[in-house]
Structure 1
Amino acid sequence: MKSKIVENWLTKVNELTFTIPFSQLLVSQGHKVVHISSQGPLEQGKDVISVAPDGMVHCYQLKCGKINGRVWGEIKSEIDQLVELPPKHPSLPKEVEEWEAYLVTNGSIANPTARDIYDYAESKKGKGHRPLKTMVGGELVAAFTEFYDDFLPVDALDLQIFLEIYNQNGDFELDTQKFKLFFESFFQASHDVSRQRKVESIRASIVLCNYLLSLKHEAENHLGIIKGYVLLLASIYEFCDEHKIAGRLWKDSESLVYEAIEIQFRRLTGELQTLPDGYVQRKYGVLSEVVTHKIRCSELLGYISAFKSYYRLRHGQKPEISETLDSLTSSMIEHRALLGEVFIPYFVNYIADLHHEGKEAEAATHLTHLVVALSNSHLGEKRGLPSPYYNLTESVNWALGRGRRIEEDFQWRSHSMHALTLMSAHLGLRDVISSLWPVISRISREEMIPNEPRDYFFWRMENGTLYSSFPDVTQSWAALQNEAAEDYSDSLPETLKDRKFFLPLFINAMPHRFNHRFALLLLNKKQA
């Protein structure tokens, strides 16, 4: 039955969906993957380049479906590049004289075309080029089943949840809670196995993640895919922290996930550029409803800003599309909405990005707007804002008075105000905080403190304590500045101490884990 599950998935996906799982299969086979196509124009006919355990370079051109005479004719120029042009990559020797060239399809090759490909390979070999090899769907199903069959869900409940996630409409918002809890349960099943088996479970999780996101890929739901990969990484990091699994054993798989995230951000940006005014129209917007438009702009603003910070922290430079991203965010910020504390990390990421870009005045202005808006939401007959434990849809429905009724009282309680106050102290906004202090000092500061830092990665923090306290009515500005200047690196889970680049993405995908420690680490230029 499990092989049928693999076959059902593998034979339906397109090459864009197929690339990361195929790369993970190569890693499981002992290869080091050095290049994955950016999913734009083909790069010398090579979608994936890897180095096998014996040191031989392997180059792959990935296709989907049945390859017949028509398809072969359409792709032949790409195959010419695959077998004729030596692979070039910083991780490879300057001159690669020999390499294995593969045409891979998750379908089949028609009989007459198979003979044409054989004759083509012999002809190229006779002319001193690399002979073309093929890999078809049946071989792929066998390989994926060999390495990952044991990790597919068999328990009735697990299988039901797996299929519910998989079958969710690709255009819908990813059910982040259900998705994250599935992978927490998945890794829980590998707690009492050997270290090698634990590493294999990490590799398998990437294939399962891609399987579950198949319909998101089909619908080109880029944000849904990004969220899924971020939540997977959070689960992997907790698992590795708990079992002290050395990074060298799973860094190749981790790199594939980040490659997948970067691919989706590039595709998202390309899509936004093709839409009128980058998803921001002056009247009503492309999503037809004013509120929906503002929500979409706020979420995109948060993720694009997070990507810029992530890229700068991980790669030490701006992304190549930085100017395009700046243009998009400068439009989106004008159409933002604050309908719950789940939105706060989006704006914090934007402010942090401005701060690191040296745009201090803009950062201060937008932080002031945010602190004022959150403060004002508690005044008079207003009800505060839903806590970040309520997702985006629940928060919006609460604000609009529709959907299921939420009985919880949010007035004079906040999980975010302390973070915004200390960010203000960090940026020197003394007059702003002073003028708002009579309101801020009435708002209870709430925060879930984990027993161990790795517990931040759990969707539900079973081992932790909810702290609630009020600021001093007469607060010293110097004390606030001292608190804002502290180094909070020790509060991070072990895996994040040298992966601070994950924080911007993490607080967007799991906003109920946002706190003043993470906010100040994002703002601190020395830490960043």
Structure 2
Amino acid sequence: MIEKAIENWLINTNETNYRTPFFQLILNKYELVKNTHGPLEDGKDIVAKDSDGNYIAFQLKSGNINTTEWRKIKSQIDELIELDIRHPSFESRRPDETYLVINGSVDSFANEKIKSYNKSKVDRGFNKLKIIDKDELLQMFKEAQGKFTPDEYDDFYLFLDILTSDGSDLLPKEKIIEFLNKIIFNKKFTRESNRINAISSSLIIVSYLLDPFQNKNNYFAIFEAWTCLCALILNFSYKSKIKSEKWKESIYLILSEIERNLILLKNETLMKKKFFEGSIAGETRTVYDSRALMVLGTLSVLEIFLSCSDEDYHRDEDLIELIKENKDNLYFWGESAFPYVFSIIKYLEREGERDIAISLLEEIFNILIERNQPRKQFGLPDPYCDVKKVLEGLLRLDFDLKRYEYIISDILAIDSSKEFKEIYPEIMRVRRIRPGRTEQIMDEILHNSHLLKIDFKDFNGSSFILESLILMLTRRDKKDLLTKKWREISHIRMETFDFDNKEDIFSWRTRDGKFHDELPKSPQKWDDLVTKSKIIDTDEMHLENSLFMLFLILVFPHRANTTIINFLDDHF
């Protein structure tokens, strides 16, 4: 059944989507592997060097090859075989072996054409073209995945549950992380080679788990999936103390997938300039504005990533303008929204839009201080409540409020010209009588919707992001604002989770640590705040993964603690 699911994915996907798992296969086999897809391609998507110093080049295509298709790609195959490899990691010369890789088959007529083509190439002193078709490709994937397949009923059920996800929905992060941990990352490996194989297999598994989201071009969900995997690999590698640098090639491969999908998301967003998804029927302002914040926050990180990794990067005026146009339409649903706001602030500051950035920072700070006072009724949910949970909770609350509206309407319908002692029994009967048809429908909707019920009062009096906001404002010399608000600030407990193991910053959940909370000092000396704001953790792990951590806090918002925010705020 698992093999059939893999085969179905392979046959129906395109070369872009099977490129990453194939690249991982090549990484496992050869000494040096590089992507050449781009202006220096010359018919070569991937080039590799084996232990004997031979150069191997690959061209990837999707679908079947018939005579018509062969004629279309023949010029690219000529370049693949005849032209020198042009890549700084390789000597400039022709490849020793060349492969056409397809996730389909070559029909008999095209096969004869290729045989004749190869003969003419060999006669002229070139190497012949070799074919890797879907059957061989499938076998390669299955062998690479090895023992990392579901072997228990619950794991198999979870696999199918993910594979049958609604591809247009948000990524089921917890399910994917649970599945990968169960079949790969929670296992004990005595050999380092097995740990490297485990990492390699994880890329292949995630590639076909993404099938429903790839079919819907859900670039945001795909970005989140690769980010989840990257975090799991980093956590696993640091904990396992892998000595070989081989696993880092997989990280670079994942980062290229993150970049590719976010560029696609950016192109789509700038073309539409709206944040509707699918039909606008039933779309609320809250949902729309939440999506706007998520998309613009994510694209802000992409721009920071590109500006740090691409020396030819140029400021994107269209994205800056889109952020400006929507700066008043960014819904801050709770503390899990903070990383998106933080990313927009950092991007705007880097691009010289400091006034807008600080205005946004102050706005979020004021919302938090207002909403999370101890005696308020509607606190901002903590970072462990994601956007879907919060929006469900708000919708559930809206339904509940409407039910009370019907009760109040019934009470208001009572003849108030009568004396109170006459209408009091009627008031008391309102809630006891058989509900009206409308209220019955509301009860049925609530029962069948399974909407999460959140008591928003539970979040009053505490915050996981308050200290980060205070220190960000301090670094931006906002003494007057903090002085004005300090009495209100001093009533909100600052919560943190302190890790026992620093690599658990890359974990979704860990028991190795403890929660801590404390009230801000009152009174608070400004000089002490300034000194505290300058304490930056420059741990080597953070420095080595600084760019990825910008993506991490979007997908794992509960990991955006004060230490990480201080580091990222200073580093970028």
Shared fold per TM-score greater than 0.5: yes
Q: Which residue of 2 aligns with 1:405?
A: 453
- Determine the C-alpha separation between the residues in 1 that align with 2:146 and 2:9: 13
Q: Which residue of 2 aligns with 1:60?
A: 58
Q: Which residue of 2 aligns with 1:69?
A: 67
Give the letter aligned to residue 98 of structure 1: P
- Determine the C-alpha separation between the residues in 1 that align with 2:176 and 2:312: 31
Quick one: which of 114, 134, 144 aligns to 2:111?
114
- Determine the C-alpha separation between the residues in 2 that align with 1:360 and 1:286: 37
1:393 and 2:388 equivalent?
yes
In structure 2, do the counterparts of structure 1 residues 335 and 292 end up closer, same or farther at CA, with 3 Å as the change threshold? same
In structure 2, do the counterparts of structure 1 residues 286 and 21 end up closer, same or farther at CA, with 3 Å as the change threshold? farther
In structure 2, do the counterparts of structure 1 residues 318 and 167 end up closer, same or farther at CA, with 3 Å as the change threshold? farther
Q: Secondary structure at the match of 2:130?
A: strand
Give the letter aligned to residue 473 of structure 2: S
Q: Which residue of 2 aligns with 1:232?
A: 229
1:367 and 2:361 equivalent?
yes
Give the letter aligned to residue 488 of structure 2: V
1:63, distance to aligned residue in structure 2 (A)? 1.6
Q: Which residue of 1 aligns with 2:558?
A: 512
- Determine the C-alpha separation between the residues in 2 that align with 1:405 and 1:424: 34
1:82, distance to aligned residue in structure 2 (A)? 2.3
Q: Secondary structure at the match of 1:61?
A: strand
Q: Secondary structure at the match of 1:465?
A: strand
Give the letter aligned to residue 51 of structure 2: P
CA contact (8 A) 1:184 1:458 kept: no
Q: Moved runs in structure 1, 4+ residues, more than 6 A?
A: 284-287
In structure 2, do the counterparts of structure 1 residues 57 and 151 end up closer, same or farther at CA, with 3 Å as the change threshold? same
Quick one: which of 218, 223, 228 aligns to 2:220?
223
- Determine the C-alpha separation between the residues in 1 that align with 2:141 and 2:319: 37
- Determine the C-alpha separation between the residues in 1 that align with 2:18 and 2:522: 58
- Determine the C-alpha separation between the residues in 2 that align with 1:450 and 1:296: 31
- Determine the C-alpha separation between the residues in 1 that align with 2:264 and 2:51: 32
Quick one: which of 88, 91, 95 aligns to 2:89?
91
In structure 2, do the counterparts of structure 1 residues 319 and 48 end up closer, same or farther at CA, with 3 Å as the change threshold? same
Bigger mean CA offset, 5-14 vs 439-448: 5-14
1:305 and 2:300 equivalent?
yes
Give the letter aligned to residue 56 of structure 1: N
Q: Secondary structure at the match of 1:279?
A: coil
Q: Secondary structure at the match of 2:12?
A: coil
Q: Aligned runs of 1:351-500 on 2, under 5 Å? A: 351-378=345-372, 381-400=376-395, 401=397, 403-407=451-455, 409-490=458-539, 495-500=541-546
Give the letter aligned to residue 27 of structure 2: V
Bigger mean CA offset, 469-478 vs 304-313: 304-313
In structure 2, do the counterparts of structure 1 residues 118 and 228 end up closer, same or farther at CA, with 3 Å as the change threshold? same
1:397-439 Cα distance to aligned partner (Å, 9 max, x none): 2234252212361112111111111111111111121122122
In structure 2, do the counterparts of structure 1 residues 247 and 438 end up closer, same or farther at CA, with 3 Å as the change threshold? farther
In structure 2, do the counterparts of structure 1 residues 51 and 218 end up closer, same or farther at CA, with 3 Å as the change threshold? farther
Of structures 1 and 2, the larger Rg is shown by 2
1:74, distance to aligned residue in structure 2 (A)? 2.7
- Determine the C-alpha separation between the residues in 2 that align with 1:28 and 1:98: 19
Q: Which residue of 1 aligns with 2:20?
A: 20
CA contact (8 A) 2:40 2:86 kept: no
1:287, distance to aligned residue in structure 2 (A)? 9.4
CA contact (8 A) 1:32 1:252 kept: no
Bigger mean CA offset, 506-515 vs 145-154: 145-154
In structure 2, do the counterparts of structure 1 residues 423 and 510 end up closer, same or farther at CA, with 3 Å as the change threshold? same
Give the letter aligned to residue 161 of structure 1: L
1:264 and 2:261 equivalent?
yes
1:181-225 Cα distance to aligned partner (Å, 9 max, x none): 222223344323311101110111111111111221121111111
CA contact (8 A) 1:190 1:197 kept: no
- Determine the C-alpha separation between the residues in 1 that align with 2:474 and 2:528: 10
Structure 1 unaligned blocks of 5 or more = none
1:10, distance to aligned residue in structure 2 (A)? 2.2
1:214 and 2:198 equivalent?
no
1:199-258 Cα distance to aligned partner (Å, 9 max, x none): 110111111111111221121111111111111111111111111112513111111111
1:94-125 Cα distance to aligned partner (Å, 9 max, x none): x2133432211111110111111121222234
- Determine the C-alpha separation between the residues in 2 that align with 1:271 and 1:176: 23
- Determine the C-alpha separation between the residues in 2 that align with 1:328 and 1:143: 45
- Determine the C-alpha separation between the residues in 2 that align with 1:327 and 1:96: 46
Q: Which residue of 1 aligns with 2:340?
A: 346
CA contact (8 A) 2:85 2:95 kept: no
- Determine the C-alpha separation between the residues in 1 that align with 2:242 and 2:190: 13
In structure 2, do the counterparts of structure 1 residues 86 and 324 end up closer, same or farther at CA, with 3 Å as the change threshold? farther
User: Matched residue pairs, number?
Assistant: 515
- Determine the C-alpha separation between the residues in 2 that align with 1:322 and 1:59: 35
Q: Aligned runs of 1:305-324 on 2, under 5 Å? A: 305-313=300-308, 315=309, 317=311, 319=313, 322-324=316-318
CA contact (8 A) 2:30 2:48 kept: no
CA contact (8 A) 2:36 2:87 kept: no
Identity of counterpart residues, as a percentage?
28
1:358, distance to aligned residue in structure 2 (A)? 4.2
TM-score after normalising by structure 1: 0.91
CA contact (8 A) 2:232 2:506 kept: yes
- Determine the C-alpha separation between the residues in 1 that align with 2:282 and 2:126: 52
Bigger mean CA offset, 330-339 vs 221-230: 330-339
- Determine the C-alpha separation between the residues in 1 that align with 2:314 and 2:129: 34
CA contact (8 A) 1:286 1:293 kept: no
CA contact (8 A) 1:202 1:236 kept: yes
- Determine the C-alpha separation between the residues in 1 that align with 2:274 and 2:280: 7
1:104 and 2:86 equivalent?
no
- Determine the C-alpha separation between the residues in 2 that align with 1:53 and 1:271: 43
In structure 2, do the counterparts of structure 1 residues 303 and 91 end up closer, same or farther at CA, with 3 Å as the change threshold? same
Structure 2 unaligned blocks of 5 or more = 399-450
In structure 2, do the counterparts of structure 1 residues 128 and 290 end up closer, same or farther at CA, with 3 Å as the change threshold? farther
Q: Secondary structure at the match of 1:150?
A: coil
CA RMSD of aligned residues (A): 2.5
1:384, distance to aligned residue in structure 2 (A)? 1.4
Give the letter aligned to residue 564 of structure 2: F
1:20, distance to aligned residue in structure 2 (A)? 0.1
Q: Which residue of 2 aligns with 1:294?
A: 289
1:280, distance to aligned residue in structure 2 (A)? 5.4
Q: Which residue of 1 aligns with 2:172?
A: 175
Give the letter aligned to residue 53 of structure 1: S
